[in-house]
Amino acid sequence: MSRLLEKALERVSNLPEDEQDAIGSQILASLADEDAWKARFAEKRDAIRRMAREALEEDAKGETLPLSDLL
């Protein structure tokens, strides 16, 4: 466990139980959300690669604009 996480958990351990549960729920929800995003990207890996390849081809053909022109 990292030192930062140890420090955070030490502070959380001093809170009332209901606040500890709330923070625990937030952490678990965040981890579940991260897992879900990873799974979605893994399922779409081929599509993402195809879109990246297409974008690079369009840029090579001069069919794109610099970001500064869009902002």
pTM for the model: 0.61
Please tell me the predicted confidence (pLDDT) of residue 70.
87
Please tell me the predicted confidence (pLDDT) of residue 49.
94
* Cβ burial 31-68 (10 Å sphere, 16+ → b, else e): eeeeeeeeeeeeeeeeeeeeeeeeeeeeeeeeeeeeee
Tens-place pLDDT, residues 2-56: 999 999 999 999 999 999 999 999 999 999 999 999 999 888 999 999 999 999 9
Please tell me the predicted confidence (pLDDT) of residue 34.
96
CA distance 54 to 71: 22
